[in-house]
């Protein structure tokens, strides 16, 4: 397949680079300064089977430049949720040339937004559960291999699934792409906003009895929305999400908390989650509204409330914008808990 990858961050480099190493015809679309740098320095991938390099990857710095080079069978969207509007603005003048888009973004609202512009028939849901670390520009390493997922209701899904398996991506197909994305979001929320706000590792968040209670309430709000919308919880590659959901729903905290402390600590180790990285790198943007905020909006549509997700979204948004100071919440769980009062 001829594939155009939007974004060469950790996920774009991992997915696009792995497909290129497996023989697919892959090109990347990035900002000019990034495209110029990576087209010269190449891509470097630390994969489970060893270190690999792509010496001369193809990079484009504009959509017109990319399409002038030919047509594509597939586009892969591997940018942050807050970049989706910019991608749509970029592709609107050339919608007739856009191939189907495989969306690996976190959250559940990007695909509907894309479908409103491209049509449902040109949007494919995807997810990544493998943990990817970024060592530098165009240089990634697989920190914990789990796999990837793709919904199976598109004519290209079978071809993509086969290519993903050849590329070592551990790809699994899902009949219900929406269930796959919501189940992934459930895992994305664990210890994410709380870790960023408190400047704590996720395992420390889950070890704290009161913060664990807040996390359970956050996740139960998600599960209530999924129940109301009749979206089933599904297991993701090497990620037993159904067991997680059952534990959150039914196990008493004295049993559930030690299990989740171990699971969260083992899953993330000493690595901070994405919200913390974005906040403490001063990027001025966060995906919290595409995750916690999406839960709040879906809850309203279902006639429910999601006060914990709403509070976490509000606090982290204000910290990210600089309206509130990070040090006012760092290491202050009581203050965060008081925000629900």
For 208-239, what is each residue's pLDDT tens digit? 999 999 999 999 999 999 999 999 999 999 99
Task: Tell me how far apart the alpha carbons of residues 178 and 305 are, in angstroms, rounded to a whole number.
Answer: 21
Q: What is the pLDDT of residue 270?
A: 64
According to DSSP, the β-strands at 50-54 and 58-60 are: unpaired
Could you read off the pLDDT of 7-17 as tens digits, one per residue?
999 999 999 99
Delineate the domains of the chain, giving CATH numbers in brackets.
2-175 (3.40.50.720), 181-338 (1.10.1040.10)
Region 27-40 average pLDDT = 96
User: What percentage of the chain has pLDDT greater than the value 90?
Assistant: 93
Q: What is the pLDDT of residue 268?
A: 61
Q: What is the pLDDT of residue 283?
A: 76
For the ranges 10-19, 21-30, 63-72, 280-289, the lowest mean pLDDT is seen at 280-289
Q: How confident is the model at residue 168 (pLDDT cuts 50, 70, 90)?
A: very high
Tell me which residue has tokens 């894309």: 114
Q: How confident is the model at residue 282 (pLDDT cuts 50, 70, 90)?
A: confident
pLDDT of 161 strictly over 80: yes
Q: What is the pLDDT of residue 284?
A: 84
pLDDT of 73 strictly over 70: yes
Region 16-36 average pLDDT = 97
Distant-in-sequence, close-in-space partners of 239: CB < 8 Å, separation ≥ 6: 129, 146, 187
State the chain's mean pLDDT as an integer: 95
Instruction: Write down the pTM of the prediction.
Output: 0.95
Q: What is the pLDDT of residue 267?
A: 64
The pair of structure tokens assigned to 25 is 């015809």
pLDDT of 269 strictly over 70: no
Region 108-131 average pLDDT = 96
Nearest one of 217, 115, 237, 103 to 170, comparing CA atoms: 237
pLDDT of 336 strictly over 90: yes
Give the N- to C-terminal CA distance of the chain in Å, as an integer. Answer: 54
């Amino acid at each position: 397949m001829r594939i155009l990858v939007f974004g060469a961050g950790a996920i774009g480099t991992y997915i696009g680079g792995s497909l290129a190493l497996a023989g697919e015809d892959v090109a990347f679309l990035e900002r000019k300064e990034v495209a110029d740098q990576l087209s010269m320095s190449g891509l470097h991938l630390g994969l489970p089977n060893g270190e690999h390099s792509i010496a001369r990857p193809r990079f484009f710095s504009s959509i017109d430049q990319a399409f002038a080079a030919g047509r594509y069978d597939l586009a892969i969207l591997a940018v942050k949720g807050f970049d989706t509007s910019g991608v749509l603005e970029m592709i609107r003048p050339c919608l007739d040339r856009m191939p189907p888009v495989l969306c690996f973004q976190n959250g559940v609202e990007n695909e509907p937004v894309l479908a409103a512009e491209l049509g449902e028939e040109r949007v494919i849901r995807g997810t990544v559960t493998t943990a990817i670390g970024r060592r530098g520009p165009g240089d990634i390493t697989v920190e914990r291999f789990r796999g990837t997922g793709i919904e199976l209701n598109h004519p290209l899904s079978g071809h993509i699934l086969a290519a993903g398996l050849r590329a070592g991506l551990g790809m699994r197909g899902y009949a219900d792409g929406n269930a796959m994305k919501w189940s992934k979001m459930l895992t994305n929320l664990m210890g994410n906003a709380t870790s960023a706000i408190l400047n704590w590792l996720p395992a420390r968040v889950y070890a704290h009895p009161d913060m664990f209670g807040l996390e359970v309430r956050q996740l139960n709000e998600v599960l209530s929305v999924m129940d109301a919308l009749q979206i089933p919880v599904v297991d993701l590659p090497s990620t037993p999400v159904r067991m997680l959901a059952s534990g959150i729903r039914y196990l008493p905290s004295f049993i559930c908390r030690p299990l989740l402390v171990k699971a969260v600590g083992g899953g993330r180790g000493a690595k901070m989650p994405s919200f913390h990285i974005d906040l403490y790198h001063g990027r001025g943007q966060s995906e919290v509204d595409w995750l916690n905020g999406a839960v709040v909006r879906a809850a309203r549509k279902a006639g429910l409330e999601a006060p914990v997700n709403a509070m976490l979204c509000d606090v982290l948004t204000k910290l990210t914008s600089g309206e509130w100071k990070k040090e006012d919440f760092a290491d202050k769980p009581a203050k965060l808990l008081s925000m629900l009062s």
